[in-house]
Amino acid sequence: MNIVLLGAPGAGKGTQAEKMIEEWGIPHISTGDILRSSVQEGTPLGLQAKEYMDAGELVPDLVVIGLVKSRLGEPDADKGFILDGFPRTEAQAEALDEALAEMEKRIDAAISIDVDRDVIVERLTARRTCRDCGKIYSLINDPPADPAKCDECGGELHQRDDDTEATVRNRLEVYDRSTAPLVDYYRSKGVLHVLSGDRPVDAVFDDVRRIVEG
Ligand code: AMP
């Protein structure tokens, strides 16, 4: 199944994607994760992307579209994929549809996770990620035993550079302006499912399962 996860930053897309990988083993393609690794590795792409990311602005369409197209061409994406954080603009959504049509594929479901704004700011500023295994924690809802250390692998937990309150507010504005219209885009294609994300992770995942398993 080919799935797009929609929803503001902090809606829980990454957390649901983790559970979907565990359950169905389909690849998780997060443009944010790909860009963050490029920044860490100091590649030309990373150097270009970093200033947009730190400001909470979108990296130019051409850059991310190229990234996703080449990732979708890898063999593991043949059995389906979860796109998380892409598309974020109408131009990206159209480019995605064109690329998929060339591969005789389509998006089967766009799952939009809705969460109240104040909850998002609180969630994002409390988010910590393991530098080694990528596991996501919340200091409020899912705190690790030691706030600096991953329960799973002992790796160092850190706060993303763009999870500070000022950048989070800008990311939300960018979302409303550029990405929220994609909900209508996918509704008009008849593949949209809207879920409330103001609930425990497992309750949201029960709905995701109903969508994926039909
Ligand atoms: P995320 O991890 O999805 O919240 O993405 C973190 C940051 O990476 C965003 O604030 C953007 O600067 C950049 N980014 C990720 N995905 C995209 C995309 N599809 N289009 C443009 N910029 C993106």
Strand 127-130 and strand 157-158: the pairing is antiparallel
* Burial (CB count <10 Å: 0-12, 13-18, 19+), residue 35: buried
In short, whether 29's Cβ falls inside 6 Å of ligand 1 is no
> Please, which pLDDT band fits residue 142 given cuts at 50, 70 and 90?
confident
Region 2-26+79-115+176-213: CATH code: 3.40.50.300
So what's the pLDDT on residue 1?
95
Q: What is the pLDDT of residues 79-111, one digit of tens each?
A: 999 999 999 999 999 999 999 999 999 999 999
Report percent pLDDT > 90 for the chain: 92
Active site amino acids: 13, 88, 127, 160, 171
Q: Considering the entire predicted model, what is its pTM?
A: 0.90
Q: Which atom of ligand 1 is nearest to the CA of 87?
A: 19
Q: Which two tokens stand for residue 164?
A: 């500070």
Supply the pLDDT for residue 214: 84
pLDDT at position 29 over 90: yes
- What integer pLDDT is reported at residue 11 of this predicted model? 94
Residue 129: pLDDT above 90?
yes
pLDDT band at 55 (very low <50, low <70, confident <90, very high): very high
d(Cα 106, Cα 103) in Å, to the nearest integer? 9
Helix axes 61-72, 44-55, angle to 10 degrees: 120
* Cα 92 to ligand 1 centroid, rounded to whole Å: 12
Q: With 90 as the cut, is the pLDDT of residue 41 above it?
A: yes
Give the helix/strand (H/E) hosting 6.
strand 2-6
Question: Do 28 and 134 form a contact (C-beta atoms < 8 A)?
Answer: no
Of all protein residues, the one whose alpha carbon is nearest to atom 9 of ligand 1 is 53
Beta strand extents in 70-190 (DSSP E only)? 81-84, 109-114, 127-130, 136-138, 157-158
